């Protein structure tokens, strides 16, 4: 495989890029569901972005103290800025993510061709693999993952330039600034960019990498330190609120296992290239170069919960790194094995090798296509319908306490208590919601996701089950009316309790009770078990 400078960008590359753009647009038009609802965690960030864009600050409830429940900090801020331009929150999120996805596709192609000088068909394969990958599912569900992946990709490209093209003050400065932006988008970006810096040191040596280290430390210490000081003063805590609920120093073996499985799932077509790379010293060095951030980032999830790891979104940011890094490994192997470049062959040999490469190309893309990332079906969701109904009462200063802190708070526009604590600093720092805390709000509606019903006794002894027990006991002890218990079965349900002593109580209770409620995982119409004999009342 020819890796010489003659394989740099030329007119054919621009034709390839144009075709890649058309392919991605057509794939989106065919499979993308633009009318899909936001997923729960994505809806949480959208609520923060709306409040910030409206001038209320980074708050969960308007008029309350700031709280950092939106862990995608910079993505949330950029979304708020786009909303200020006149777009809806849904349009703002989709615009940012689609633009990020297209840019990442371009930069993968550019890195493989323009920096490593690999064969353009390998660059096209990597870019197309990314184009039909998990990012489409993330965008459809309104997650900001492609925005994070874009800046992780840019940081990696700058690292490659520093290693291959030599140091300069401008490159080192851009590397440090891009790394900081990546870290501001999501907290784990600090770990990812730190690992990328380690790869630069690994390839260049500590002495030769002093400039990059110095700029990285100064930028993170000065600009990053200022941000950290600001956020600690603004929010009152040094870390994002979900960390205190989901992290907190625990070890999550299950999260690590899922993280490893996820990266294996997306890397399957390229694993043999990495295995074979360890046959020679030079290709081993190149393989380790990209494996440091990929493997390191996979293993940090030992310390964080795997909750809402939708379509591998926690591991996805290293996929562009992988797709940029495997073609030069393959080229190095072909050089080591002294295999001929198909372009320099003639006759039957050229035809045979070209057909083999074409089959590999089709097979790799076929593998990605069968995963169905872009063909995600997001079902009709009863929580969305209830939220839209409750939004008719949004100006009456009502409160909902709920375990489902996404669609219901976002679209109802009510004051909301996130009873799990991801968006409530008191609950996150005290471990669990209490009846006394609920009394400070006296919520008009209490809604929770339970694994029991009036027909099935509660047996869940997990932290989630304990929280549900507090909410249910509070509702019965305070005389709330049970409006509905929606579910496909008595063992997986959504409870809706209504406080009886406010003006719209009966009306809201009746409207919830007679709602055609659909289960979010399947789109099936639910039964309402509220009319059956109660077996779980304390």
- Supply the pLDDT for residue 240: 87
For residue 318 the two structure tokens come to: 């290293």
Report the C-alpha gap between 27 and 485 in whole angstroms.
40
Strands in 415-418's sheet, in edge-to-edge order, are: 415-418, 399-402, 445-450, 492-498, 481-489, 527-528
Report the C-alpha gap between 33 and 140 in whole angstroms.
7
- Supply the pLDDT for residue 43: 96
Residue 423 exposed, middle or buried by CB count within 10 Å (0-12, 13-18, 19+): buried
Bridge partners for 525 per DSSP: 518
Non-local (6+) Cβ contacts of 28 within 8 A are 98, 136, 374
For 36, phi and psi rounded to 5 degrees?
Answer: -65, 150
Rg (CA), the chain: 26
**Helix (H) or strand (E) segment spanning residue 46:** helix 40-53
**Cα torsion at 504, 509, 515, 521 (round to 10°)?**
110
State whether the Cα torsion 475-464-70-309 is positive or negative.
negative
**Cα torsion at 401, 407, 408, 411 (round to 10°)?**
140
**Helix (H) or strand (E) segment spanning residue 27:** helix 11-31
Half-sphere exposure of 16 (CA within 13 A, CB side): 21
pLDDT tens digit at each of 538 positions of the chain = 343 334 567 899 999 999 999 999 999 999 888 888 899 999 999 999 999 999 999 999 999 999 999 889 999 999 999 999 999 999 999 999 999 999 999 999 999 999 999 989 999 999 999 999 999 999 999 999 999 999 999 999 999 999 998 889 999 999 999 999 999 999 999 999 999 999 999 999 999 999 999 999 999 999 999 999 999 999 999 888 888 776 556 788 888 999 999 999 999 999 999 999 998 888 899 999 999 999 999 999 887 777 778 889 999 999 999 999 999 998 878 776 665 655 555 556 556 666 777 888 888 988 888 888 777 777 889 999 999 999 999 999 999 999 999 999 999 999 999 999 999 999 999 989 999 999 999 999 999 999 999 999 999 999 999 999 999 999 999 999 999 999 999 999 999 999 999 999 999 999 999 999 999 989 999 999 997 544 455 4
- Supply the pLDDT for residue 502: 96
DSSP letter at 207 equals T
Q: Could you tell me which of 396, 416, 402, 389 has the C-alpha nearest to residue 51? A: 416
Neighbouring C-beta atoms of residue 388, cutoff 10 Å: 12
pTM for this prediction: 0.93
Report the C-alpha gap between 234 and 495 in whole angstroms.
35
145-165 helix and 169-185 helix, angle to the nearest 10 degrees:
160
- Supply the pLDDT for residue 247: 58
């Amino acid at each position: 495989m020819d890796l010489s400078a003659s394989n740099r960008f030329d007119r054919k590359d621009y034709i390839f890029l144009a075709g890649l753009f058309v392919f991605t647009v057509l794939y989106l038009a065919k499979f993308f569901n633009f009318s899909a609802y936001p997923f729960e965690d994505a809806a949480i960030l959208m609520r923060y972005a709306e409040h910030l864009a409206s001038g209320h600050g980074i708050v969960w409830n308007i008029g309350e103290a700031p709280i950092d429940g939106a862990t995608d900090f910079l993505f949330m801020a950029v979304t708020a800025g786009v909303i200020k331009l006149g777009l809806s929150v849904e349009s703002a999120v989709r615009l940012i993510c689609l633009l990020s996805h297209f840019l990442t596709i371009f930069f993968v192609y550019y890195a493989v061709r323009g920096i490593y000088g690999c064969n353009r068909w390998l660059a096209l394969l990597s870019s197309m693999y990314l184009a039909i990958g998990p990012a489409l599912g993330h965008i459809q569900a309104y997650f900001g993952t492609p925005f994070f992946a874009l800046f992780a990709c840019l940081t990696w490209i700058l690292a490659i330039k520093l290693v291959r093209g030599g140091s300069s003050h401008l490159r080192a400065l851009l590397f440090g600034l891009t790394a900081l932006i990546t870290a501001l988008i999501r907290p784990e970006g600090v770990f990812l960019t730190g690992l990328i810096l380690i790869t630069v040191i690994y390839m260049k040596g500590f002495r030769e990498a002093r400039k990059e280290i110095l700029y990285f430390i100064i930028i993170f210490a000065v600009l990053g330190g200022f941000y950290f000081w600001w956020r600690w003063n603004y929010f009152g805590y040094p870390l994002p609120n979900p960390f205190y609920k989901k992290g907190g120093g625990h070890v999550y073996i299950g999260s690590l296992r899922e993280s490893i499985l996820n990266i294996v799932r997306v890397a399957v077509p390229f694993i043999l290239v990495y295995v074979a790379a360890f046959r020679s010293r030079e290709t081993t060095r190149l393989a380790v170069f990209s494996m440091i951030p990929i493997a390191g980032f996979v293993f940090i999830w030992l310390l964080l919960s795997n909750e809402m790891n939708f379509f591998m979104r926690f591991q996805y940011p290293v996929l562009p790194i992988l797709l940029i890094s495997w073609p030069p490994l393959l080229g190095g192997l072909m050089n080591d094995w002294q295999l001929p470049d198909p372009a320099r062959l003639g006759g039957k040999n050229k035809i045979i090798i070209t057909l083999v490469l074409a089959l590999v190309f089709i097979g790799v893309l076929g593998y990605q296509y069968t995963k169905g990332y872009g063909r995600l079906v997001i079902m009709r969701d009863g929580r969305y319908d209830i939220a839209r109904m409750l939004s008719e009462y949004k100006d009456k200063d009502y409160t909902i306490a709920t375990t489902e802190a996404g669609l219901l708070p976002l679209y109802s526009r009510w004051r909301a208590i996130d009873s799990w604590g991801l968006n409530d600093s008191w609950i996150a720092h005290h471990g669990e919601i209490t009846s006394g805390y609920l009394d400070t709000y006296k919520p008009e509606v209490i809604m929770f996701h339970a694994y029991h019903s009036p027909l099935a006794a509660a047996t869940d002894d997990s932290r989630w089950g304990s929280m549900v027990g507090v909410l249910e006991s509070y509702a019965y002890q305070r005389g709330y009316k049970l409006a509905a218990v929606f579910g496909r079965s008595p063992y997986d349900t959504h409870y809706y309790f209504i406080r009886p002593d406010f003006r719209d109580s009966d009306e809201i209770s009746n409207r919830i009770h007679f709602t055609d409620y659909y289960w979010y995982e399947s789109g099936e119409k639910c039964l309402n078990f509220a009319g059956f004999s109660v077996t779980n009342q304390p």
